[in-house]
Amino acid sequence: MTDTPLDIARLGGTTMGTTWSVSLVASQAVVSTQSTAGIQARLDEVVAQMSTWESGSDLSRYNRAEAGQWCTLPGETRQVLACAQAIAAASDGAFDPTLGPLVALWGFGAHAGERRQPDAATLQATRDRCGWQRLQWQDDALLQPGGLELDLSAIAKGFGVDHLAGYGRKPDGQPWRVLVESAPEEDAHTGTPPRVLALDGLAVATSGDRWHQYQADGQAYSHSLDPRTGMPVHQVAAAVTVVADDAMHADAWATALTVLGRERGMALAEREGLAVRYLQRTADGPREFLSSAFQRLLDEQDA
């Protein structure tokens, strides 16, 4: 009897304010609307816990809690917050899961205000509500100290990917090959080679300002906010790509390294052993910078 041939089916949908796509190795006979529904249901579980867009989510309930209240959070949310706090500490606050009020102030996120630069007093008052050091745990409960608003949008998407991904090799025995997301300048610049990664038990995430920025009063504002200043990041890299053991860490590190900028970010990447690619805008066009770990990945897959 002939085995049922396996194909790569591609499914997709929407979640967390963006779209998702999945490459699934299976026979066409078993790929159906139930497959898409099952994936969507798993992502919806993450949304129900960690979305700021859903008023009934665990995260939204915490954000609305009164000062002094201890809020019990699900295990998966605690896992994501533990990762977020670790990266916040390692990056000296360049990543901060308590950035919610600043995200809204600058016109992004679920509770965005008017898109204009805030005055100094408003900015300072909003910054005073933030700070990952304000997070206090007691077993599985998190204290609401008053005015603290969590925003996990820079890490929860990666967590969702981890719970969908079947890391490993394709039926032909080869790793999945992923084209690193490019920036518009890179698309038009033939001097910057496309980077294809062979992901064997690894995950990749890219951060940049390709889609999320806006113009106000003649000034372009990036969606990447520096938690340490409360201001949008200036001269943001066109793209920062991170390869890690899981998408949750890759997602969060890509955000932190975007905020830090190339020089400080690359120094941190070398200290932490992170596989990082910066695509930087220059007068002569885009230029890439690779950490030692990223270069080793390329060398190993080309060997």
* Residue at token pair 């499914």: 11
* Residue at token pair 């001097």: 191
- Token readout for 129 is 């509500």
> Is 90 exposed, middle or buried (CB count within 10 Å of its CB: 0-12, 13-18, 19+)?
middle
Task: State the pLDDT at residue 303.
Answer: 65
End-to-end CA distance of the chain: 39
Render pLDDT for 112-150 as a digit per residue (tens, 0 to 9).
656 678 899 999 999 999 999 999 999 999 999 999 999
Which of 45-49, 66-70, 111-115, 207-211 comes out lowest in average pLDDT? 111-115
- Token readout for 280 is 């930087």
Longest CA–CA span in the chain (Å) reads 75
Render pLDDT for 281-299 as a digit per residue (tens, 0 to 9).
888 888 899 999 999 999 8
Domain ranges (residues) in the chain = 7-302
Q: State the Rg of the chain over Cα.
A: 20
Confidence of residue 1 (pLDDT cuts 50, 70, 90): very low
Task: State the pLDDT at residue 2.
Answer: 44
Render pLDDT for 31-47 as a digit per residue (tens, 0 to 9).
666 677 888 888 889 99
* Nearest by Cα to 276 from 251, 258, 293: 293
Fold (topology level) of 7-302: T-fold (3.10.520)
- Mean pLDDT in the chain? 85
Compute the distance between CA of residue 90 and CA of residue 85 in angstroms, rounded to an integer.
9
Name the residue with higher pLDDT: 95 or 112.
95
Residue partners of 257: CB distance under 8 A and separation at least 6: 91, 94, 207, 240, 242, 265, 268, 269, 274, 276, 278
Name the residue with higher pLDDT: 174 or 245.
245
pTM for this structure?
Answer: 0.87
pLDDT above 60 (res 25): yes
